[in-house]
């Protein structure tokens, strides 16, 4: 028998071009990928240095240049999704000066590479606001430097870094939105302001430091990463979000996506916490439920409390089979569903095995991990 060799489709390497006017220099990246996600671009501009990173699945295309001349910090980024085109329009610091070239490539520039193998770039964010979410969790609003535009794909996280006793500590955090109840018409995009929910663990390494930050304090924000693809949720009719504690964070932007998506007919959040006071954004979640009849929430607490008359327990097959009732499909209609899970690793593992037992296919389950 001749062995069957399957060709693995390779992501074609993008190419780029540039042009100038008297006042501007535009860089155009042709990603060669249709339906490019609008959030796939991260741009950092400072003085004569330009770094453009276009995330294409688990790979990314990097252009890192020392420009021919200085540019201003203000610039625009435009993504034409159907054509897979990204245009970064920079403003010349010296208008009317004609550039002979775009500049010199710096290390790694022009290459398509696995995102996980790239060195993280950290830029200096500044906390602009801080508010209390629960007794141990704060919401920080972080403004990125003026030269940074950070698109971050749905479901992806970034890295935050701060020095702790002289050692730089880095951890992954999934940005949320300023609130869950803003009346969105389109999914809000991230670009210069990022919001983080930080739960402070008294014996934690980084969280006690992050939890003390207030307006004016600096925090380093690294590049984004993640395995979630928007295509996984596009077209699904039932979206089940299974979150434990701060595992709510990746669900926040997904909820915003679901709320504005007509194809989703049922959105359910099964939210596991220890006690009533640990439930993040409970009031906002309840408000969203009241506003959108497709959305249902089930809170499950693991600690018995006098002040709680709802469900008590932990994740189990009995509980999920009761709560994740399938949405009825019309005659001849293909029902698509997606279950997303986020929480501590043992919780996530257990959730996946239960979903598997309940008949969810592999492609119908997404787990958020760092
Ligand atoms: P927590 O310790 O307060 O637990 C919340 C609930 O999770 C508990 O009430 C319980 O129902 C359940 N749970 C916890 N451990 C379990 C276990 N071993 N088996 C079964 N159920 C369990 O939650 P927290 O302190 O908010 O921590 C949330 C966890 O989620 C952290 O481990 C964090 O790293 C993780 N997280 C991961 C990501 C990601 O990977 N993208 C994002 C956010 C949070």
Token pair listed for 133: 């979410």
Contact 35, 56 (CB under 8 A): no
* Pocket of ligand 1 contains residue 31 by CB under 6 Å: no
Q: Which atom of ligand 1 is nearest to the CA of 344?
A: 32
ipTM higher than the 0.90 cut: yes
Q: Is 189 in the pocket of ligand 1 (CB under 6 A)?
A: no
As given in the structure block, the two tokens for residue 92 are 């010349």
Rounded to the nearest angstrom, the distance between the alpha carbon of 369 and the centre of ligand 1 is 11
Q: Is 247 close to ligand 1, i.e. is its CB under 6 Å away?
A: yes
Cβ-based neighbours of 340, under 8 Å, separated by 6 or more: 155, 239, 240, 241, 242, 250, 251, 254, 365, 366, 367, 368
Q: Tell me how far apart the alpha carbons of residues 201 and 20 are, in angstroms, rounded to a whole number.
A: 52
Burial class of residue 34 in the structure, from the number of CB atoms within 10 Å of its CB (0-12 exposed, 13-18 middle, 19+ buried)? exposed
Report which protein residue has its CA nearest ligand 1's atom 24. 245
Residues paired with 141 in a beta bridge: 129, 195
Task: Give the model confidence (pLDDT) of 188-244 as tens digits.
Answer: 778 899 999 999 999 999 999 999 999 999 999 999 989 899 989 999 999 999 999
How far apart are the CA of 219 and the centre of ligand 1, in A? 24
Q: What is the pTM of this model?
A: 0.92
CA of 280 to the centre of ligand 1 (A): 13
Smallest CA separation from ligand 1 atom 33, residue: 344
Contact between residue 276 and residue 308 where contact means Cβ atoms under 8 Å apart: yes
Q: Decide which of 285 and 191 is more confident.
A: 285
Average pLDDT over residues 264-286: 97
- Residues 125-151 have pLDDT tens digits of 999 999 999 999 999 999 999 999 998
The residue to which tokens 């979640």 are assigned: 285
- How far is Cα 17 from Cα 32, in angstroms, rounded to an integer? 13
Distance 245 CA to ligand 1 centre (A): 5
Cβ-contact 257, 231 below 8 angstroms: no
Please say if the pLDDT value at position 7 is more than 90: no
The size of the chain, in residues, is 370
Q: How far is CA 302 from CA 199, 255, 286, 355, in A?
A: 18, 24, 20, 20
């Amino acid at each position: 028998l001749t062995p069957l060799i399957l060709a693995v489709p390779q992501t074609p390497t993008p190419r780029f071009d540039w042009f100038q006017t008297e006042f501007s220099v535009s860089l155009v990246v042709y990603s060669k990928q249709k339906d490019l996600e609008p959030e796939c671009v991260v741009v950092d501009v400072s003085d004569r240095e330009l770094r453009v990173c276009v995330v294409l699945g688990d790979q990314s295309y990097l252009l890192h240049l020392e420009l021919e001349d200085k540019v201003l910090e203000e610039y625009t980024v435009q993504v034409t999704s159907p054509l897979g085109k990204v245009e970064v329009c920079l403003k010349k610091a010296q208008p009317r000066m004609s550039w002979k070239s775009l500049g010199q490539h710096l290390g790694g520039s022009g290459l398509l590479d696995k995102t996980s193998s790239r060195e993280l770039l950290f830029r200096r964010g500044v906390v602009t606001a801080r508010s209390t979410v629960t007794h141990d969790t704060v919401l920080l609003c972080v403004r990125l430097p003026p030269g940074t535009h950070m698109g971050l794909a749905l479901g992806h996280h970034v890295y935050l870094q701060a020095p702790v006793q002289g050692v730089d500590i880095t951890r992954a955090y999934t940005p949320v939105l300023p609130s869950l109840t803003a009346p969105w018409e389109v999914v809000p995009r991230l670009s210069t302001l990022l919001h983080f929910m930080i739960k402070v663990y008294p014996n934690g390494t980084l969280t006690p430091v992050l939890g003390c930050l207030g307006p004016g304090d600096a925090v380093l924000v690294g590049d984004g990463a993640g395995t979630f693809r928007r295509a996984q949720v596009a077209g699904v009719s039932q979206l089940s979000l299974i979150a434990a504690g701060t595992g709510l964070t990746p669900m926040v932007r997904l909820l915003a996506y679901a709320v504005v998506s007509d194809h989703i007919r049922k959105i359910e959040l099964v939210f596991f916490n220890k006690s009533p006071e640990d439930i993040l954004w409970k009031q906002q979640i309840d408000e969203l439920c009241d506003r959108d009849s497709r959305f249902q929430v089930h809170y499950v607490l693991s600690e018995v409390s006098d002040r709680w008359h709802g469900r008590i327990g932990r994740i189990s097959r009995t509980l999920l089979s009761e709560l994740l009732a399938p949405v009825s499909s019309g005659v001849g209609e293909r029902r698509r569903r997606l279950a997303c899970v986020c929480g501590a690793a043992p919780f996530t593992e257990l959730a996946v095995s239960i979903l598997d037992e309940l008949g969810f296919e592999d492609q119908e389950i997404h787990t958020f991990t760092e």
